Structure 1
Amino acid sequence: MMVKNKVALVTGASRGIGAAIAKKLAREGAFVGVNFFKNQQLAENVVNEIKTFSGQAEAFQADVRNPEQVQAMVAKLADSFGGIDIVVNNALSHYTFNPKTRKTAWETNWDDYQQQLDGSVKGAYNICQSAMPFMKEQMSGRLINIVSNLIDFPVIPYHDYTTAKMALLGFTRSLAADLGSFGITVNAVSPGLTYPTDSSVETTEDVRESIIQLTPMRRLATPDDIANAVVFLASEGSSFITGQCLNIDGGLVMR
């Protein structure tokens, strides 16, 4: 097992990519905190599925944009499981990848940008600030942020979302530079269009097909593809990798 007996927190883990990550970490031996914002039932469903294969998990409610709620959640998780080793910042402000309803550059206002920055960057900041003291004390840890390959290839220009994800990558690399001396790695995973998820369900078929044709592996990413990459970055196999952004998009972006 790649992360046996490690304690992990996955934000926005009640569905989609977050749920897949939580389940994969649990299958690989981690004790998993399944964070949710509103839908407790979906989060409990993830926990119950994990328990069906003898995994260990617990649901934790918190709005990642709220520092007080985050501090309480991380403290409760650390108390329940005996610390915290892995953080996956997956939560974001709701977004729909629909090219027909997206706002153009001249229609996007600052509030749109701020909403995405709060969900992606402020949320990750709050979680990391609360988890770092535990990781520094134990001189080890894994911080993993979910960005997007749109930052390298904006095949559809979702301005506010992509800008926030690029800022999250900058945050990732700055943390990596500061935390390496404590044995803490900080990396990003950059998914391509991932299907099916709530965010991608409205992506039109012609756009999906055009992305598939541009992708060397001739398919879209699945939530499990993203989860597999996260587990690698959470494991000892990645112990000398930090400040990196791993594209999980079948070769659409090559660097």
Structure 2
Amino acid sequence: MNQVALITGASRGIGAATAARLGRRGYHVIVNYHRNEAAARAVVQDIASAGGTAEAIQADIRNPAQVADLVAACTRLDLLVCNANIAPTFAPPSVMSWADFSEKVMGELAAVFHVTQRALALMGRQRSGRIVYVSSVIADVTMPAAVSHATAKAALNTFARQVAAEAGHHGITVNTVAPGMVRTEASAAARTPERQKLLTKNSVLGRVTEPDDVAALIAALADDGFHAVSGAHIPIDGGFQLLKP
């Protein structure tokens, strides 16, 4: 029986790259999407063309009823990748509205809470499973106008550590990957030529991170070689934080 991986927000970017990589590794991939059905189905087709199996399932993972249906579609669950990102409003705290701030922070937590709760029940019955959360280095650095995004990711990191402490007793590992700027469709507007030059200059590797870089790390955390690693928080930013002021 194929192992099953559920990836939230998998229709593009890091999620799509992770789905493709896991499909090549023999996982049956559940490609979760919120709105873009065509993109999700393209990811499924790419996996099938490479000899893998996958299916696209729509769900707003902030909605507990939709999450229940999503996880119920899994006959088993070996790997959960919480990748869906709630788009933040970028504004300084002096002018940001509470509505915009809470929409990002509460939406981010709802998006991991409901699916984690359901996944833990299924993995607990199996007495095995892996959970990987996709966070961001923004939780550990400062950036103008990023207060809601940074706060949400810092809360996610704390949530992940607590889940790791609870889930280990059931044979479940829980880890977090924290990308820096990644070359995706979602980050295109923020990757101005000037900013991309700055990011490259301030990376010890001299490059911007690609979606498949993150996907490779996520897939590695699912390997047997990481069966004793849980509660880890792994930045993947080309060494950007090493050179930050």
Answer whether TM exceeds 0.5 for this pair: yes
> Letter of the aligned partner of 2:4 in structure 1?
V
- Tell whether 2:51 aligns with 1:45: no
> How far did 1:119 drift?
3.2
Superposition pairs for residues 20-39 of structure 1, below 5 Å? 20-39=17-36
Partners in 2 of 1:203 and 1:107 — Cα distance?
Answer: 24
Decide whether the 8 Å contact of 2:92 with 2:144 is kept in 1. no
Residue 99 of structure 1: aligned partner: none
Partners in 2 of 1:66 and 1:53 — Cα distance?
Answer: 33
Superposition pairs for residues 72-221 of structure 1, below 5 Å? 72-76=69-73, 78=74, 82-95=75-88, 102-221=90-209
Cα offsets for 1:142-178 (capped at 9, x unmatched) = 1111100111222445110111011000000000011
Unaligned runs of 5+ in 2: none
Partners in 1 of 2:69 and 2:127 — Cα distance?
Answer: 22
Partners in 2 of 1:232 and 1:172 — Cα distance?
Answer: 18
Q: Percent identity?
A: 37
Unaligned runs of 5+ in 1: 97-101
Partners in 2 of 1:85 and 1:133 — Cα distance?
Answer: 12
> Letter of the aligned partner of 2:178 in structure 1?
S
> Letter of the aligned partner of 1:65 in structure 2?
R
Equivalent position to 1:58, from 55, 58, 62: 55
Cα offsets for 1:213-247 (capped at 9, x unmatched) = 11100111000001001001122121111111111
Partners in 2 of 1:253 and 1:185 — Cα distance?
Answer: 26
> How far did 1:199 drift?
3.0
| Structure 2 SS opposite 1:253 | helix
Superposition pairs for residues 204-243 of structure 1, below 5 Å? 204-243=192-231
> Letter of the aligned partner of 2:60 in structure 1?
D
| Structure 2 SS opposite 1:64 | coil
Per mean C-alpha deviation after superposition, the further-off stretch among 235-244 and 52-61 is: 235-244
| Structure 2 SS opposite 1:107 | coil
Cα offsets for 1:70-126 (capped at 9, x unmatched) = 0011101x2xxx301110011122248xxxxx3112112222222212332111111
Partners in 2 of 1:171 and 1:29 — Cα distance?
Answer: 30
> Letter of the aligned partner of 1:179 in structure 2?
A
| TM-score when normalising by structure 1 | 0.91
Partners in 1 of 2:45 and 2:177 — Cα distance?
Answer: 26
Partners in 2 of 1:150 and 1:20 — Cα distance?
Answer: 21
| Structure 2 SS opposite 1:93 | coil
Decide whether the 8 Å contact of 1:195 with 1:201 is kept in 2. no
> Letter of the aligned partner of 1:91 in structure 2?
A
